[in-house]
Structure 1
Amino acid sequence: MPNVGIISQARMTSTRLPGKVLRAVAGRPLLDYHVQRLRQTGLALHLAITDQPADDPLADYATHHALPCTRGPEDDVLARYQQCAAAHHLDVIVRVTSDCPLLDGALVAEAVQQYVAARNPRLYLSNVLERTFPRGFDFEVFSRELLEEAHRHATAASDREHVTPYIHQNRSGRVELAHIRRTPDRSNYRLTVDTIEDFELIRQLVEDFRADTLTGDELIALLDVHPDLLTLNAHIEQKKL
């Protein structure tokens, strides 16, 4: 079996909602829910944060929760991933972001099983290129080989900040893309946290509906019958790459 690890990127200096991942919901930081749900995969979970003093609280959080933590350049997130994967000898990387507190661990685990069964180091598997899941359920799975290749050759600032464009845009011409999809399409649901409106939706879902205990399908079903909740952040536009 390859050594598979989840790497979650985090920082305290978000432009639209600084410190968002440590904001409290039901007496716990948002990051708690993210970590709890991903640990349900049974896979090793790593935190990739910046080397800036502003992220010292995240380093303290990682220490307190026995969460392996790698620190690296603020804007070169690709380098952070490469450093983390190399330090922990990962063969396969699952990329997630810490502003997704309700990411479905079971969904990630199923995708990893599919990826490993393919036995193809040139494969990139995700649910983000062809969106059918709510934003906030995002994950990408790729090999250390592809990560190292991107780290060596990607030069554009946007490629290095967003980690995977060099891979999924197939700049090498030798990447195979695969997609995880769901029916019916619920890509219009927004469960990531980038603004105060996003945070308010997550707060209500956790405090009023115990959303952190629900599976991904149960959470989507909850939103299907409570469309009023979706109006809280329906107007928020995702930042472009």
Structure 2
Amino acid sequence: MERLKIGIITQVRVTSTRLPAKVLLTVSGRSYLEHHLDRLARTGLPVIVATTTNFNDDLVVQLCTEDGFPVFRGSEDDVLSRFAGAAREHDLDGIVRVTSDCPLIDPEIVAAGVDRWRAENDPDLYISNCLERTYPRGMDFEIFSAARLYDAEQNATLTADREHVTSYLHQNRSGEMRLLNLPWSGGGSQYRLTLDTPDDWKLLDVLFENFDADQLNCAQLVKILDEHPELATLNAHIEQKKLGE
């Protein structure tokens, strides 16, 4: 059987509301976006950046081009169509969806998810590690077939479904999806290793500068936060934005 072509698509835009241009902030000599892309590249899968046609994102395109990552530009608000365009342009059979505010995403965890999705060999299967929260925020991925992405692109009418890409799939609006959550027993689900607010930035800065976080996996990062509760409190109060906000 022909091996399916699976690629990682990460969404990026610099007009984020809570911390504008957050992925272009730098730490340890590189932007947070580059740390994110470096980690994804370690999976051995193609990594595609899906950004917007907004001129503010020209900087994203420039940075990714210099680092050798392909970029697809599409709608700022209809992120579902942007993902579908990126998948088509790169002729993907399967898509790993991640978001660019995860500079410490663990490539081994993502790769294991892809192995599982391949093994199941079911185009109607949606696999994620965040249907139920067992990982720290910042480790999230979702995997689904291009066929299901194109079906959502064609049939999703709710604004939230267009903006959040996968809600049409994981809410099973088609009635044809099989959902599978891959849980984690390593703890740390209360922690935020994501870059969404100034307080998240404070924590990540400390982890990169003082603990060489770019070299650590999820378990090692959780261990640091377990051993240094004063670090975890830097962003423990942040409320995650709800679907539709």
Match of 2:90 in 1: 88
Q: Any unmatched runs of 5+ in structure 1?
A: none
Match of 1:143 in 2: 145
Q: How many residues are paired up?
A: 241
In the TM superposition, residue 182 of structure 1 has moved relative to its aligned partner by 1.0
SS at match of 1:177: strand
Contact 2:186/2:219 (<8 A) preserved: no
Match of residue 156, structure 1, among 149, 155, 158: 158
CA RMSD of aligned residues (A): 0.7
Match of 1:101 in 2: 103
Match of 1:179 in 2: 181
1:136-193 Cα deviation digits (max 9, x unpaired) = 0010000001101100000111101000010001111110000110114321110111
In the TM superposition, residue 28 of structure 1 has moved relative to its aligned partner by 1.2
In the TM superposition, residue 27 of structure 1 has moved relative to its aligned partner by 2.1
SS at match of 1:111: helix
Match of 1:16 in 2: 18
Counterpart of 2:197, as a letter, is T
Match of 1:114 in 2: 116
Deviates more, 1:78-87 or 1:23-32: 23-32
Contact 2:127/2:182 (<8 A) preserved: yes
Equivalent-residue separation in structure 1 for 2:204 and 2:191 (angstroms): 12
Q: Any unmatched runs of 5+ in structure 2?
A: none
SS at match of 1:141: strand
Equivalent-residue separation in structure 1 for 2:31 and 2:184 (angstroms): 29
Equivalent-residue separation in structure 1 for 2:36 and 2:190 (angstroms): 21
Q: 1:44 to 1:232 in 2, by over 3 A?
A: same
1:186-226 Cα deviation digits (max 9, x unpaired) = 21110111111001100000000001101111111111111
Equivalent-residue separation in structure 1 for 2:113 and 2:226 (angstroms): 24
Equivalent-residue separation in structure 2 for 1:46 and 1:18 (angstroms): 22
Query: Percent sequence identity over matched residues?
Result: 51
Match of 1:193 in 2: 195
TM-score, length of structure 1 as denominator length? 0.99
Q: Is it true that 1:134 corresponds to 2:114 in the alignment? A: no
Q: 1:184 to 1:64 in 2, by over 3 A?
A: closer
Equivalent-residue separation in structure 1 for 2:235 and 2:225 (angstroms): 13
Equivalent-residue separation in structure 1 for 2:217 and 2:30 (angstroms): 19
Equivalent-residue separation in structure 1 for 2:200 and 2:31 (angstroms): 15
Equivalent-residue separation in structure 1 for 2:167 and 2:33 (angstroms): 25
SS at match of 1:133: coil
SS at match of 1:15: coil
